[in-house]
Amino acid sequence: MYALAKPQSSVWARFIIDRLLKSPSKAFAIAFIYVTLPKFLAKIYQSARLKESKGLLSALLKILANALHPGKFPMFATKLVLGINVLEPFFSRVLPGQKYKRVVPFASALLASLASSLLTFPDYQHHIISKNRFYTLDMTLLLFVRATDTVLSTILAPHTPAWMYHFNDVIFFNACTSVIMFCWFYYPERLPPLYRDWITSAANMDNGLVKALNMLHHEKIRYGECSPNGEERVLVEAAEKFGMHPDVGDLSKTIPIPCALVHSNISDSCEVNALWRFARGLRFGLSLYMPLNALIFGIKLAMNPKNRSRKLMITNIIRSIQSSLRSSSFLATFIALNWYGVCLVRTRLGPRFLTPYFGISYKKFDSLYAVACGSFIAGLSSIVERKQRQKELALFCAPKALSALLPPILKPQFDLGDRETKEPVDNKAELEIEALVFSFSFAVLVAFSKQNPEKIRGIFGKGLQQVF
């Protein structure tokens, strides 16, 4: 009897270890690191910059304690994976296995993930929604984009021409960044504050100039006219800051905005300004990517003793430097092309072609066409990156662009401060739609990660593989 019972007990032991302990623990660990690591690094960087270590340890411990809250993302991820692992064997037995033997594993993973998501996501959604409405929506759009990409690439890949395969991610990234940058100039309330502020830091554009272009677009001010509130003087402060006469920033007197003011009085030449912006963008990129790649290098050393050999260490250091330079060059190219695209319409193509042949006035250059051109050609910068990174860049930007295009009724709006404009959170239909989109998207990704993990492009697929 014991001999017969032993295999059965072994199966149950393996089920408990693998499905109830191992993969949920992995999900918790990955989610915990995802939540805490950026906050850790930001807090340490802030402490080092201010040269103030007092209270640093307590702040770091508080970050860890907050991440352990039952309603936070790590516990949500754990319950989500646990539910999948418990429900999947049930669906495997219920589904007809003789006729549809090949699709049963995929279908059971899909149904288990869908059921687990529908059970766990609403509680997490209601916990988060009072603090940050955008957070769950951003996650939902991220999963929706990844799931859609996985399904479409699986269906269309065999029928995609070779030339299009090499450029599809560049085209996709270009479309996404065109939307994002256009909104950054003219509809900033459609972008989350932290993301908008990051773009502002990278672009290094004077806030007054962005505000002036925005007001020209929405006709709050007009060239050569005075407004009741004196808003035509929006660039006076910027002119004085750059050592120029205050009247240069008065749009009732100066028509259009001078190139020197747009260039921060560095040079009248648009080409020199583009090169200067490239250099500043490169420096900004290196300050961002060098510490990140150094951290990845350190993690590799800690996790795998083989990487500590002299030869591998030198190879990994060279790769880290190359990766930092390439990514920084991409960011610098994006910034330079954005600036030069604006100048291209304002001073090069606009006066020579758009006005004589199409009758477009110079007023329209600053209120629409210049920014549209800069937003469009900046996206071509992803050509600098390697193919794998082009995929990740496109898939990273797609949820942001999709969010910006959503009707206001389906998403939160942000003011120009650093806080969310509060909207009613009791719109039940809106929350249910979001829960359904999240659940179906996540279910598709889990099903593919279990059966065809190579179909999920980028690091997202590798993360799911690690969990399951």
- Range in 28-37, 161-170, 346-355 with the lowest mean pLDDT: 161-170
The DSSP bridge partners found for residue 420 are 414
Q: How many angstroms separate the CA atoms of 177 and 199, rounded?
A: 11
pLDDT given for residue 120 in this prediction: 93
Longest dimension (CA), the chain: 99
Tens of pLDDT, residues 87-126: 888 888 887 765 666 778 888 889 999 999 999 998 888 8
Decide if pLDDT at 72 tops 80.
yes
Q: Which comes out higher in pLDDT, residue 249 or 436?
A: 436
- Range in 14-28, 80-94, 230-244 with the lowest mean pLDDT: 14-28
Decide if pLDDT at 46 tops 80.
no
For the entire predicted model, the pTM comes to: 0.79
pLDDT given for residue 164 in this prediction: 66
Residue 385 CB-density burial (10 A; 0-12 exposed, 13-18 middle, 19+ buried): buried
Tens of pLDDT, residues 274-291: 899 999 889 888 888 888
Percent of residues, the chain, with pLDDT higher than 70: 85
pLDDT given for residue 7 in this prediction: 56
Could you write out the DSSP letters of every residue in 120-154?
Answer: HHHHHHHHHHTT-HHHHHHHHHHHHHHHHHHHHHH
Q: Mean pLDDT across the chain, nearest whole number?
A: 80
pLDDT given for residue 308 in this prediction: 67
What is the pLDDT averaged over residues 18-41? 81
Residue matched to tokens 């995609």: 160
Per DSSP, 414 falls in state: B
Decide if pLDDT at 3 tops 80.
no
Tens of pLDDT, residues 205-214: 777 788 888 8
